[in-house]
Chain A
Amino acid sequence: MKNTNCIEEIKKEFDAYAEMYVPEGLDREEQLRMYSIMWLMRKFEEAVKPLWMANKVHGYYHPYITEEAIATGIITQLKKSDYVGSTHRGHGHLIAKGGDINKMMAELFGKEEGYNKGRGGSMHISDMSIGMLGATGIVGAATAPAVGSALKSWIKGTDDVTVVFFGDGGSNAGSICEAMNMAAAWKLPVVFVCENNQWAIATDIARVTGEPDLYKRGTGFGIPSCRVDGFNIYQIWDTAKTAIARARAGEGPSFIECKTMRMLGHHATDDSWYRDMSVCDKYWEIEPIKRMGEFLVGNKIATQEELDAIEADAMKQVEASIDYADNQCHEPSLDTFYDYIYADGEVIK
């Protein structure tokens, strides 16, 4: 059960807090689908850290844990030909767009069967077949290219929409501001989503930003902008629905600041020594999966048994993906070293 004192404390300090509600047009089936997608993200990422410790996966992996409602509430409303621009924290974005966790796990294992044939890893996870334009290793770097996919829709006159994610850290990268300006000038079909988890690697955003209400930047570019509770999947879904419809109708971009709280280290092995993690204790009471589950049961939309089955199924899928990556996939052949540097099989040494 919820700790009521925690909620009262959160309401005082977390200015984005909003009560849960079922928006018009969101049926039970879709709610349960979103709930299951969030569990898939969670179980996938919870599985990765032990795999990293066991030296099965390596490099950097940046968890999306407790930010699942943002990708889920927004991306599940997109069609296949719509585009998603991601961040370094991209596992959740890919899962929400309908990606294959077997291929993602195989990529984390560095295998040939992985999404990127072992060349990219967690930080560059992508699935072009579903418009997932890829995670990026450089904070803020993927935004302008992602807006480029919206430029294509604009030139070609299609109704494809691009949703581009960046964090509070990325929001201070200059090219994001430049890209927002062009999207506004030309009314490009973009939804800018700032996942404000309040920490830019090891720096509290308040220490390096004069205006902590990041959504106001959108307003400065003439873009309709608002802030939502990043733990509240219903409010996120409702807000994104309007923004996506606006983009699809050719009316231009929107900016949604999803305010949340980073509850883990920047990457898997970051122990967050530089901040007081006890402030997160109360936020675990409103982490999005727990919060949605309690809402679904409390409002008799689903039973606890149904939710438990969804969680168990997510776990099974993730276990199967580990088995696939570990036992059924292959190391890339060293003969393929020069592959993919250039297109069409061209090799320039």
Chain B
Amino acid sequence: MSIITLRESITQALREEMARDEDVFIMGCDVGLRGNPFGITKGLMNEFGEKRVIDTPISEAAFTGLGVGAAIAGMRPLVEILYCDWLTLPMDNIVNTAAKTSYMFGGQANVPIVIRAPFGVGGGVAAQHSQNNENWFVHVPGLKVIAPSTPYDMKGLLKSAIRDNNPVMCFEHKRNYSIKGEVPDGEYTIPIGKANIRKQGTDCTIVTYSYMTYVAEAAAAELEKDGISCEVIDLRSLLPLDYETVMDSVKKTSRVVVVTEAPLRGSIAGEIVGEILDRGFDLLDAPPQRVGSKNSPVAYNEGLEALCTPKKEDIIAAVRKTFE
């Protein structure tokens, strides 16, 4: 075991998979010489050459399209979008080509591409560098979506994503990059679509993912002091989503709070609550609660930025509400 940052866990996954499979290559703005703004791909261009770590022009629509086409032709591209906010630019290539090619072509082609995108609120980078757009992609049949929160999960899931024959969107919360955790020294992968129970509990289930996992854990720790035992589920994958683990927990606790950092309106929190009701309305002792960001663009000003996202107190209040 080594203790590394989540940022380093991504670098390790990329390096190992590039060494393992010559079809794996990276493309994106500043991924080569600069090694990406967070230093994640630093050194990889020297190690693997300019044709496997490709610095692109600022043409997200087309370079993602090139990646999609290279995947259709049999490569395993890792396309990096500097901030998930700019996924709007290659949206057509993701939604209409990557997600639909296998189906439209009757299985003649697969699109084994991974699109990595930093996301989430924090750092005063305002409305076009702070969004949580992961929800949009959960709505698209043909895609897979992962959003791991720990170095261990990130490395294992990213390796699985690279080996997966489907297009996978990988959302990396910017606030998670410096989080440290234990990672095995040897080879391992984590299957896409399996949630992780971060904390066992008996009274209320908190379902969440990515950075909000840490906020939820802090809320659960505080509630524990008051005798409320929360089970915290880190989904890790949003599509497919591990409803078995969620429902097993709800069976045990009879209460559920779903937490996302995305603006609540139209978010995955509502979708998860809907699915829980479909699968087990009778299991519940209280109406399920949703916690998400305010329905607002993210502000530059620190106070306004902070006001936008869910806090520990919001989650605590939501859990308490299930006991009213």
Please determine whether chains A and B interact with each other in the same assembly. Answer: yes
Give the distance in Å from the alpha carbon of A280 to the alpha carbon of B180 in the complex. Answer: 70
Chain B residues whose CB sits within 8 angstroms of the CB of A151 once the complex forms: 66, 69-70, 75
A contacts with B, residue count (CB < 8 A): 48
Question: Does residue B17 face the partner (Cβ distance < 8 Å to A)?
Answer: no
Of chain B, the residue at the smallest CB distance from A117 is: B106
Contacts of B101 in A (CB 8 A): 134
CB distance from A332 to the nearest CB of B (A): 9
In the complex, A331 has a CB within 8 A of chain B: no
Q: Which residues of A contact B56 (CB under 8 A)?
A: 182
Tell me which of B51, B63, B96, B166 contacts A342 (CB under 8 A).
B166
B-facing residues in A116-136 (Cβ within 8 Å): 116-120, 124, 126-129, 133-134, 136
- Is A146 an interface residue, CB under 8 A from the partner? yes
A10 at the interface (CB under 8 A from B): no
A199 within 8 A of B: no
Identify which of A154, A175, A348 contacts B240 (C-beta below 8 A).
Answer: A348
Query: CA separation between A134 and B59, bound complex, in Å?
Result: 23
Which residues in window 42-81 of B have CB below 8 A to A? 51-52, 56-57, 59, 61-75, 77
Please state if B97 and A342 are interface contacts (CB–CB under 8 Å): no
Which of chain A's residues has its CB closest to B62's CB? Answer: A178
Q: Smallest Cβ distance from A199 to chain B, in angstroms?
A: 23
Chain A, range 135-152, C-beta contacts under 8 Å to B = 136-138, 141-149, 151-152
Contact B106 A340 (CB under 8 A): yes
Is the beta-carbon distance between A146 and B105 smaller than 8 angstroms?
no
Q: Which of B68, B75, B109, B110 contacts A126 (CB 8 A)?
A: B109
Query: Which one of A117, A178, A339 has the highest number of Cβ atoms from chain B below 10 Å of its Cβ?
Result: A178
Q: Within the complex, which residue of B70, B96, B106, B144 is in contact with A149, where a contact is CB–CB below 8 Å?
A: B70
The reply on A20 being an interface residue by CB < 8 A is no
| Interface membership of chain A positions 172-188, coded 1 if the CB is closer than 8 angstroms to chain B and 0 otherwise | 00111011011001000
Any chain A CB within 8 A of the CB of B92? Answer: yes
Q: B165: nearest residue on chain A (CB-CB)?
A: A343
Contact B61 A117 (CB under 8 A): no
- The answer for the CA separation of A116 and B104 in the assembled complex, in Å, is 6
Q: Which residues of A contact B105 (CB under 8 A)?
A: 115-116, 119-120, 124, 126, 128, 134, 340
State whether the Cβ of A346 lies closer than 8 Å to any Cβ in chain B.
Answer: yes
- CB-CB under 8 A from A174, the residues of chain B are 61-62
Question: Chain A CB within 10 Å — which of B25, B69, B75, B239 has the most?
Answer: B69
21 A-B pairs (CB sep. < 8 Å): A115-B108, A116-B105, A126-B109, A133-B72, A133-B73, A138-B92, A141-B97, A144-B93, A146-B69, A148-B67, A148-B77, A149-B72, A149-B73, A155-B51, A174-B61, A175-B59, A179-B59, A181-B57, A340-B103, A343-B102, A348-B144
With A175-B59, A182-B57 given, name 20 new contacts (CB 8 A): A115-B105, A116-B104, A124-B104, A141-B96, A143-B65, A148-B68, A175-B65, A175-B93, A176-B62, A178-B57, A178-B61, A179-B62, A181-B57, A181-B59, A182-B56, A185-B57, A340-B102, A343-B165, A348-B144, A348-B239
